[in-house]
Chain A
Amino acid sequence: MKRLWLVSLVCVLLTMSVVAAPFVENEDLTSATNPVLGGTLSLLLTDSPQSFLFYGTLDNNAYTVIGQTMTGLVELHPVTNAIRPGLAESWSTSADGKEVTFKLRDIKWSDGVPFTADDVIFTFENFIMNTVAKGNSVDRFTILDTTDGVKKPVKWVKVNDKTIKAVLPSPFGPFFMNLSHAYIYPKHKLESKIDKNRQDSVNELWLSNVSPKDIVANGPYRIASYVMDQKVVLEKNPHYWKVDRFGNKLPYFDKLEYLIVKDPEVRLAKFIAGEVDYLAITAKDFPMLKSKELAGGPFTVFKAQPTQPTPSPVHIAFNFDVTDPELKELFRNTEFRRAMEYLLDRGRIIDEVYNGLAIPGAGLVLPANKAFYNAKIEKIIRPYAPNKAKEILDKLGLKDKNKDGIRDFASGKKVEFTLTVQSSPQDYQDVALIFKEDLEKVGIKVNLQILDGTLVGNMFGAGNFEAGIRAFGNQPDLELRKAIWQPGTQLYYWHYSALDKDNLVAITKNMFDWEKRLYELFDQGSINIDPAKRKAIYDEVQEIYHDVLPVIFVSKGMNLTGASKSLGNVTQDKEGIVFFSTYTAFRKK
């Protein structure tokens, strides 16, 4: 009897320890066998964070800082973007795909209060689904119910303190991807501060003047102090639930300091001076830094395959709704756009504008994104071939009748248009210049219009342009970029006649056949959950984009980073991908 009791006790203890088992971080991030604990990691911010509440702001610097302190039910691997457990240690999906039950991790907030399903429900109700919260994600969790065609929100049901169920109107492929951005906030700290009568009072929580002691975290670090406009200091979260494969609690560093530096040259100077440990580098600065490294500098410069959204890949767009009727007919002609691609000298652009540190195309899906990349597009992308372009232009009837060096329409008007581009970053202008030169060599006149970024943004947003150069970052799942690449959306800016701006509904009858197909495909990609099926859908999207060219993707800059030699666990695998994270790096002795 006693033995049975002992055995069951051991069993219970074992199950308890299994249940409360921390998350063991992958070896790819923790390759070093002798990590050193302690010390401070120094990084950079481009400006002061505007808030410490993820849902109260749209500021990128705020996201950077908050991203170190908060996390969601699921997480993305910081480098490969693979989905893995976060605050939820496991989950199971029902057979019809409409219910997902999450088993929450048995952990505490940084102030020792236990984390429960109440926090999840609180966050969704007051922040994520709150339409007047600045950084809300209502769209991402409002899903189309395929049975009645109505969009409905995801419902969250508490099963018990450690279990919560999500009920979806229909199965939704990108659900987990969206969850990775849904950081969970502590109910016990914030609920009392919300004014129930004013839903937008949530935007006033945890602003930049809040005392750091009031901020509670569930990520690797928590906010320790903030010196306005100069630095934000984070410290190790004592209740963080990740360990390395040797049993050490993560993060290795005691402190993480973000220096606030507005000017890019000063950021570079601070990195070279050793005040900053890790920095994203532009193609322009790469040769100088690499030379310094080879001459014995205290840092390593990495050149890696692009895996991140930025630098945003540049594309060229021709406005299908341009006012001039002859240009309108021309721009809508797919053969014309193909001729334009033959005139795009990507090799020269990569060489001269990006110092050779970029890859061609890659505007939709990055080649390193194995889950979705369609290698077939490499055969579809057209090379630089001015003669082929000339053939096409001749066939379109655009000949230089009056021998002034510029082709003319049938009406006798010159083939000429304005190319609008923003003045900064510099590479957009440079791409425009090279493209313009090549077009003028075959007789098409281009007027370069370089203007302030906001002005250009407004012009594009109003459809007030002829041809333009713009860039949008890549995301690991095309669903997250649906609002750009799906025809009839707010950022499909070269064909606004396919969008009813007042009701924000797509006008399919104004779309071309291939646009209708794209429209369908994107909707299908949303509602399918089978990864193989989704890949097939987005494969076709990529093929259409590169064949019919709604826009012409130019190139994508490589991931260039610099890291101090004294940082441990910064490695590069044989495919060129750099592995680094703020909570697995350490200071070598």
Chain B
Amino acid sequence: MWAFIIRRILIMIPMMILASIICFVIIELQPGDFVSQYLDNPRISPEQIRLLREQLALDKPAITRYFMWVKGIVTKGDFGYSFAYQRPVGDLIWERMGWTVIIALVTIALQWVLAVPMGIYSALHPYSPGDYVMTFTGFLGISIPDFFFALILMFFMLKMGSTSVGGLFSTQFIGAPWTWAKFLDLLKHLWMPLVVVGVSGLAGLMRVMRGNMLDIIGSPFITSLRAYGLDEKTVRRHAIKNALNPMVSIAGSELPNVFSGTIITAIVLNLPTMGPFFYNALLNHDQYLVMAFLMFIALITQIGNLLADIALALLDPRIRMS
């Protein structure tokens, strides 16, 4: 087991290197660079633009810049500076990490806590009214585009006179010390992004869980368990355990998904997370910031997959044997 884990960790290193090359290529393929946004501005003379390019080393060929960046990481642990903010990208990402992680984890937790029982219930009572209601709400959740959903929610909240619209806090609580009131204010704002982001994922997870359960329940495996004379509760336990199998692989991919897949929602609802920050950096061609973010996601994906594989092996002894 341990050999397996260590091997995987070692493989991550060349993977990250490859990832960094791909990231760099993607960014280079975009037309223009950081300085392009100033071309339109008459306050800035062409001389200044040329100087700016030189300062940011944007006039050097791509390969040179890539190796300059790698050298910076290897020798100084320096992941580069943001062109716009002129501060190390590491600092900028770290500043926004807190909220991103919290919202991501809460969303995932909520999704799973709700989806698995719902899926099980649905499978155990198929075609019952409960099943229909859950199926229907699930479907509704996945058919609505998330940014649209966010807009409609905002619209109805405003119509009802609410002022907790957008962002995580009301103005008076931003930057204020933590109190019970502030926590309540947070909840009042947080439910919207959780609902918008969670609902679509929830339905998908629930459907898959339900499908898996139905598969298992109908299989001869279950029939044979019953034939053994096991009570229903134990049989059910076995069924659930087996149904969870493919879900584990999905869980591995949840983490990077929640980080990057919710960018649009975070922009629409104005959350202080990495998503909108990254999107802006992308539009501005703030190269090193984008690279750092992409590398971060790449790392999280690898770790997530590793964890999923470990969990899969733990859950399914047959895989461990192979």
Contact = CB atoms under 8 A, between A and B. Distances in A.
Check A-B contact in the complex, CB < 8 A.
Answer: yes
A485 B112 CA distance: 60
B41 A454 contact: no
A337 B270 CA distance: 45
B52 interface: yes
A265 B87 CA distance: 30
Q: Which interface class (under 10, 10 to 19, 20 to 34, 35 or more) fits A?
A: 35 or more
Residues of B contacting A: mostly: loop
Given A203-B86, A230-B169, A273-B162, A454 B37 contact: yes
Contacts of A504: 45-47
Interface string A230-273: 11010000000000000000000000010101110110011011
B87 A131 contact: no
B96 interface: yes
A272 B165 CA distance: 10
Given A132-B51, A203-B86, A230-B175, A457 B276 contact: no
A274 interface: yes
Contacts of B191: none
A113 B171 CA distance: 33
Centre residue among B40, B96, B171, B268 by max chain A CB count within 10 A: B40
Interface string B163-194: 10111111100110000000000000000000
Contact of A50 (B41, B46, B86, B269): B86
Interface string B132-158: 000000000000000000010010001
Contacts of A490: 45-46
Given A50-B85, A454-B36, A58 B44 contact: yes
A461 B171 CA distance: 42
Contacts of B55: 132, 200
Contacts of A233: 175
Interface string B13-25: 0000000000000
Interface in B70-91: 84-87, 91
Contacts of B66: none
Given A139-B45, A262-B270, A266-B154, A58 B165 contact: no
B31 A266 contact: no
Contact of B270 (A136, A200, A209, A263): A263
A131 B49 CA distance: 11
A20 interface: no
Given A59-B84, A132-B51, A484-B42, A263 B268 contact: yes
Interface stretch (A221-229, A279-287, A320-328, A554-562): A221-229
Contacts of A227: 174-175
B171 A259 contact: yes
A13 B270 CA distance: 56
Nearest to A481: B42
A275 B42 contact: no
B51 A131 contact: yes
Interface in B21-70: 30-32, 36-48, 51-52, 55
A95 B55 CA distance: 43
A3 B102 CA distance: 78
A483 interface: yes
B84 A275 contact: no
Interface in A121-179: 131-132, 134, 136-139
A207 interface: yes
A483 B151 CA distance: 41
Contacts of A231: 171, 174-175
Contacts of B151: 265
A272 B166 CA distance: 12
B234 interface: no
A137 B42 CA distance: 11
Contact of A263 (B39, B163, B174, B267): B267
A230 B174 contact: yes
Given A458-B32, A472-B42, A265 B85 contact: no
A42 interface: yes
Interface string A408-424: 00000000000000000
Interface in B259-312: 267-270, 272, 276-277, 280, 283, 285
Given A454-B37, A457-B37, A457-B40, A262 B154 contact: no
A131 B166 CA distance: 41
A262 B267 CA distance: 7
Contacts of B95: 228
B39 A457 contact: yes
Nearest to B88: A209
A502 to B, nearest CB: 10
B185 to A, nearest CB: 12
A204 interface: yes
B272 A228 contact: yes
A364 to B, nearest CB: 13
A461 B35 CA distance: 12
Contacts of B167: 230, 259, 261, 266
A266 B167 CA distance: 9
Contacts of A461: 36, 39
A499 to B, nearest CB: 10
A81 interface: no
A322 to B, nearest CB: 20
A47 interface: yes
A548 interface: no
Centre residue among B43, B175, B285 by max chain A CB count within 10 A: B43
B124 to A, nearest CB: 42
B48 to A, nearest CB: 7
A265 B268 contact: yes
A38 B283 CA distance: 40
A458 B175 contact: no
Given A207-B85, A229-B96, A58 B42 contact: no
Contacts of A483: 42, 45
B163 A274 contact: yes
A454 B91 contact: no
A455 interface: yes
Given A266-B166, A270-B166, A472-B42, A458 B276 contact: no
B91 A51 contact: no
A491 interface: yes
A153 B85 CA distance: 30
Given A203-B86, A275-B163, A457-B40, A209 B269 contact: no
Contacts of B41: 58
Contact of B166 (A56, A203, A257, A269): A269
Given A58-B43, A131-B51, 20 more contacts: A59-B84, A207-B86, A207-B87, A208-B87, A227-B175, A228-B272, A230-B167, A230-B169, A233-B175, A261-B167, A266-B268, A273-B165, A454-B30, A454-B36, A457-B36, A458-B31, A472-B40, A482-B42, A484-B42, A490-B45
26 contacts: A50-B85, A51-B86, A58-B43, A136-B48, A137-B43, A207-B85, A207-B86, A228-B96, A259-B167, A261-B166, A261-B270, A263-B166, A263-B270, A266-B166, A269-B165, A269-B166, A273-B162, A273-B165, A275-B165, A454-B36, A454-B285, A458-B39, A480-B42, A490-B45, A491-B40, A504-B46
Q: Nearest 6 pairs between A and B by C-beta?
A: A227-B175, A266-B166, A229-B272, A483-B42, A273-B163, A266-B270
